[in-house]
Amino acid sequence: MPDVIVIGAGISGAATALELAAEGVEVLLLDRYGPAAMASGWTLAGVRQSGRHPAELPLARAVVAQWATLADRLDGPTHYIRQGNLRLARTAEEVAVIRRLVAEQSAAGLDLRFLPDAASVCAVAPAVAETVLAGSFCPTDGHADPVATVESFVRAAERLGAVLRFGEAAEAIEVADGRVIGVRTASGVIPAGRVVLAAGLFGNALLAPLGLSVPIEVPMVTALRSEPAPPQLAPVIGVANADCAGRQEADGRWRVTSGRETWPGALAEEDGRPVMRPSAASIAETVIRFGAVVPAFRAARIERVWAGLIDLTPDGLPVLDAPDAVRGLVIGMGFSGHGFCLGPVTGRILADLAQGRTPALPIVPFRLDRFAGWNAPRAVPTLHG
């Protein structure tokens, strides 16, 4: 009988399993498909502090300090590259957005620089089009390989004793007298007194029978990956209104994403993994948008396209909480399009909550009960990338 069952082997669940296993906790990591099958595989995988909500900035700053040595800790690859995040302005309105972002985040202590013209932007990244008007640059941001990173977390957790069960879905979280007693799957009930729910956008299906839910919208994002190309771009590129983003991976492949799109609601399965196909129009639009800010991308030969889904909460912030209503339940969901970077600290926080400890980082803004009677405006577009 495990002490803790972690549902979901994306970066959040895999990192939690590692933290718990490292403490000698008997942990079972359960995934309906396998590691990085959903958002943690669909992601752009920017590792950034810039563009974060003030509530998330302490977590992002703490985690960026860990990414450089994460591969050593995991004894497995992350392909982490710290060469900055460049956010571009293409219109006068976007210049104002970038200027405000730099002022706010510099005041919060982040090294975020305003680049006032195309020349200063191109000095940082010569591949950027000279038509851009301005930008912000955070030199300590970067990117990583999401699938390799999640696999490395999973293998490190397994080496420390975590038990892996992949290809098996949690069908229900079993509760008696207000306390978790196990997880039901097709093979029966696995008894456990504690459950960490890190099932991404499927988490609500398991919360609903418990009378809980994380309010989320589920927009879709188109993603393109090219064949390896000569290295031309070091930082991750974003834009002020988040309608495209992109980077060059360690092996030169371009990885480029669109802005938010409407998800038609279909999710097929291929080779035991959930898949969505973006429309031809969206692929073309993404090529045109990103190609307009990084012209070298236009010469890339696209090797793979997919669409990813985002678990977007009303305030664009995740839920990291152990709600009083169900003792033994810990929730890590609703990362709103920027939870990959946070994975290593998310794991620490969820493990602390599962162990009944108060996490060292501030998590009050991520309580589930903030949505009780929620009537604030919906989240602004998440600044992914």
Ligand X SMILES: Cc1cc2nc3c(=O)[nH]c(=O)nc-3n(C[C@H](O)[C@H](O)[C@H](O)COP(=O)(O)OP(=O)(O)OC[C@H]3O[C@@H](n4cnc5c(N)ncnc54)[C@H](O)[C@@H]3O)c2cc1C
Please tell me the count of residues contacting ligand X according to CB under 6 A: 41
The helix-helix angle for 11-22 and 146-159 (nearest 10°) equals 20
Which of 368, 375, 361 is CA-nearest to residue 317? 368
For residue 277, the minimal CB distance to ligand X (Å) is: 14
For residue 375, the minimal CB distance to ligand X (Å) is: 25
Segment interacting with ligand X (CB under 6 A) among 5-13, 95-103, 126-134, 186-194: 5-13
DSSP string, 201-265: GGHHHHHGGGT-----B--EEEEEEE--------SEEEETT-SEEEEE-TTS-EEEEE--B---S
H/E segment holding residue 27: strand 27-31
Segment interacting with ligand X (CB under 6 A) among 50-58, 102-110, 337-345, 361-369: 337-345
- Where do the H-state alpha helices sit in 25-124? 39-42, 57-74, 92-107, 118-124
Among 207, 214, 341, 353, binds ligand X (CB under 6 A): 341
Q: Check binding of 345 to ligand X (CB under 6 A).
A: no
Q: Which CB atom, from 133 or from 220, has the smaller least distance to ligand X?
A: 220
Segment interacting with ligand X (CB under 6 A) among 18-26, 127-135, 303-311, 370-378: 303-311
Segment interacting with ligand X (CB under 6 A) among 28-36, 114-122, 155-163, 282-290: 28-36
If one counts every other C-beta atom within 10 angstroms of the C-beta of residue 262, the result is 8
Q: Report yes or no: 321 and 328 within 8 Å, Cβ to Cβ.
A: no
Which of 203, 201, 209, 214 is CA-nearest to residue 265? 201
The interface with ligand X within residues 45-104 (CB under 6 A) comprises 45-46
For residue 275, the minimal CB distance to ligand X (Å) is: 12
Q: Check binding of 289 to ligand X (CB under 6 A).
A: no
Site for ligand X, rule CB under 6 A? 7-13, 30-33, 37-40, 42-46, 169-170, 198-200, 202, 206, 221, 223, 257, 308-310, 335, 337-341, 384-385
